Amino acid sequence: MERVRLAIVGAGAAGLMAAYAAARRLPPGSVALLEGNPKPGKKLLATGNGRCNLTNTHMGPAHYHGDVEAAGGMLAGDSVGRVLGAFSRLGVLTRTDEEGRVYPYSLQASAVLRALWQGCEEQGVSLLCGFETTAAQPHKGGFLLSSKAGGRLWAGRCVLACGGMASPRHSCGEKGYGLAQSLGHTITELRPSLTPLSCPRKDAAPLKGMRCKARAALWAAGREVWAESGEVLFGDGTVSGICIFQLSARLGGRQGEVVLDLAQDFTAQGLTAYFTSLQRERPALLARELFSGVLNLRVGQHLAKQLGFVGERPLGSLSSGELRRAAGMAKGWRLPVGPCTSWEGAQVTAGGVPLAEVDCRTMGSKKQPGLYLAGEMLDLDGDCGGYNLHWAWLTGLAAGAAAAGASIT
């Protein structure tokens, strides 16, 4: 049976970074990286639409959900320097957009994966693909790891970096939660996050395939919880888009409402004044065309229909109250929404191993000596914008360095 000083389960963002951080501190051949898929980094390649939004300069705990308090100072702004320092050592230059999103300068996720894997290879990491780890047992002062295909490996220390439940097509079948539980950890309730939101088919389905710019505000329990501006996409009983993903992280498992302001550059009074002057100038225009000068035509017709502006009714017949209501609808179209329960469309997993069960300086397990945990399998999830990969890199760096026995820089 092969024996290594350190085994890392999962060759995703966190596992690759942990392997690189550990191998830099150990003799070649000390680190084995075990991946269930035929190749490493499948999800990493899909990130940021293939461009890999790897971190964000607006870093801070406000962009995270879950065990944020337990993460303490880990998520402070200076952690970005730690991550970018690692990429700079790997030769990956970056560029930052106006919203602080950091990408590889090449805008290729494949360049990030290649640099990480080449860095690991140069430091003598051995990669075992197709090693879907099904058991990790404490054994002779270390861990005995077994694979679905019957492989066995002994490692002095072990990092679990198995990712989460989100987007299962990018991850191997066996998840790491069972491994963590078998080694004494608990798992909080798991929920898909950064997902589309479900909404009644009658509201969204007629607009299926449409995109429009809006300010999207999430309302739950009678108050505005969060708002984001961006593109909203309508599906068959769903709304999505990055701004909606951000709201999904704040909706949790609840029901709520998304209020869309489709005419952000106007006040409700300004819009009413515009409708009133349009009515004065063109009283014979069909009322269902009221929104045609301001909103996407299909969206406008849909709102007009909901307001009862149908058939041959002319604009001149609308009362001032109806014009005000129309302006109110364009400024605040309320859609009842609920969480999406499917993992397929989710970008990240909410819930996981509580951070209270690890030492957040080293990512070392408080339940099992010699065990470390990193990445999405922990109970911390971030907003869209590079925050989830940031967490994966940061915890990978800490776990790899600590598991190699080095002090954390």
Ligand X SMILES: Cc1cc2nc3c(=O)[nH]c(=O)nc-3n(C[C@H](O)[C@H](O)[C@H](O)COP(=O)(O)OP(=O)(O)OC[C@H]3O[C@@H](n4cnc5c(N)ncnc54)[C@H](O)[C@@H]3O)c2cc1C
Q: Which residue is nearest to ligand X (CB)?
A: 12
> Does residue number 66 form part of the binding site for ligand X (CB under 6 A)?
no
> Which one among 104, 119, 142, 163 touches ligand X, defined by CB under 6 A?
163
* Shortest CB 14 distance to ligand X, Å: 3
> Which one among 67, 132, 203, 228 touches ligand X, defined by CB under 6 A?
132
Q: Where are the beta strands (DSSP E) in 186-275?
A: 191-193, 197-198, 211-220, 223-234, 238-240, 256-261
Do 193 and 249 form a contact (C-beta atoms < 8 A)? yes
Q: Which is nearer to ligand X, 49 or 407 (CB)?
A: 49
Q: Which is nearer to ligand X, 66 or 375 (CB)?
A: 375
* Shortest CB 346 distance to ligand X, Å: 7
Q: Which is nearer to ligand X, 43 or 302 (CB)?
A: 43
Q: Judging by DSSP bridges, how do beta strands 142-147 and 133-139 pair with one another?
A: antiparallel
> Which one among 326, 348, 373, 394 touches ligand X, defined by CB under 6 A?
348
> Which one among 117, 219, 275, 387 touches ligand X, defined by CB under 6 A?
387
| Part in contact with ligand X (CB under 6 A); list of ranges 10-18, 246-254, 279-287, 362-370 | 10-18
Among 339, 327, 349, CA closest to 239 = 339
| Part in contact with ligand X (CB under 6 A); list of ranges 85-93, 306-314, 336-344, 384-392 | 384-392
> Which one among 30, 167, 193, 246 touches ligand X, defined by CB under 6 A?
167
> Which one among 115, 116, 330, 392 touches ligand X, defined by CB under 6 A?
392
- CA-to-CA separations, 12 to 69, 135, 284, in angstroms, rounded: 25, 19, 62
> Which one among 6, 7, 8, 10 touches ligand X, defined by CB under 6 A?
10
Residue 140 has a CB neighbour count (10 Å cut-off) of 9
Q: How many residues bind ligand X (CB under 6 A)?
A: 42
Q: Which is nearer to ligand X, 249 or 335 (CB)?
A: 249
| Part in contact with ligand X (CB under 6 A); list of ranges 61-69, 128-136, 206-214, 361-369 | 128-136
Rounded CA-CA distance 269/274 in Å is 9
> Does residue number 86 form part of the binding site for ligand X (CB under 6 A)?
no
Helix axes 109-122, 79-89, angle to 10 degrees: 70
* Shortest CB 160 distance to ligand X, Å: 9
* Shortest CB 258 distance to ligand X, Å: 22
* Helix locations, 72-220, DSSP H: 79-89, 109-122, 177-182, 201-204
Order of strands, sheet of 94-96, starting from the edge strand that comes earlier in the sequence: 55-56, 101-104, 94-96
* Shortest CB 395 distance to ligand X, Å: 8
Rounded CA-CA distance 261/251 in Å is 19
Q: Where are the beta strands (DSSP E) in 73-176?
A: 94-96, 101-104, 126-129, 133-139, 142-147, 152-160
How would you classify residue 40: left for phi > 0, otherwise alpha for psi between -120 and 50, otherwise beta?
Answer: beta
> Does residue number 11 form part of the binding site for ligand X (CB under 6 A)?
yes
Rounded CA-CA distance 19/31 in Å is 7
Residue indicated by tokens 């989460």:
164
Q: Calculate the CA dihedral of residues 172, 107, 82, 89 and round it to 10 degrees.
A: 100
> Does residue number 192 form part of the binding site for ligand X (CB under 6 A)?
no
Do 263 and 299 form a contact (C-beta atoms < 8 A)? no
> Which one among 68, 161, 303, 404 touches ligand X, defined by CB under 6 A?
161
Q: Which is nearer to ligand X, 309 or 387 (CB)?
A: 387
Q: Which amino acid is at 209?
A: G
Q: Which is nearer to ligand X, 291 or 343 (CB)?
A: 343
Among 387, 385, 407, 386, CA closest to 398 = 407
* Shortest CB 359 distance to ligand X, Å: 18
> Which one among 42, 65, 191, 288 touches ligand X, defined by CB under 6 A?
42
Binding site for ligand X (CB under 6 A): 9-15, 34-37, 42-44, 46-48, 52-53, 131-133, 161-163, 166-167, 170-172, 174-176, 347-348, 375-376, 386-389, 392
